[in-house]
Amino acid sequence: MAQGPLAGLKIVEFAGIGPGPFCGMLLSDLGADVVRIDRKGHGRASPADVTSRGRQSVALDLKRPEAVEACLKLMERADAVFEGFRPGVMERLGLRPAGTVPHPAVPEGPLRAHVLYRLDCADREDAA
């Protein structure tokens, strides 16, 4: 069982470049259960890539309906989802789940990680 201040949180990461892999590594280091969704056909990260440590990954072709459905199921069970795609990509792929909004504190920029929080988190018993 993971230990740390984020133990018990489930996070879905869509693999990308820039701050995304580092963010996933830090969240995992702090105890979160992070699942990274890699693009199918782009190979796995090198074992020497330190930013890929501490999390499970699954490779999916996000242009296939069954892969989108698998992602949405993962996202339904997650406490947070982050991705570093360009604006509009998640919506175009059909991966912007109902009931989620971009977090207003995330700054704008070309390499930002967009963080999506579940709106029903205020209804959870463990929410502060």
> Per residue in 62-111, pLDDT tens?
999 999 999 988 888 888 888 878 777 888 888 875 556 555 555 444 44
pLDDT > 90? residue 19: no
Tokens encoding 41: 């056909």
In terms of C-beta density within 10 A (0-12 exposed, 13-18 middle, 19 or more buried), how is residue 36 classed?
Answer: buried
Q: What pLDDT was estimated at residue 70?
A: 93
pLDDT > 90? residue 32: yes
Domain 10-123, CATH homologous superfamily name and number: Crotonobetainyl-coa:carnitine coa-transferase; domain 1 (3.40.50.10540)
Instruction: Taking the CA atoms of 34, 28, 46 and 56 in sequence, report the sign of the dihedral they define.
Output: negative
Q: What pLDDT was estimated at residue 34?
A: 93
Torsion of the alpha carbons at 120, 56, 15 and 29, rounded to the nearest 10: 80
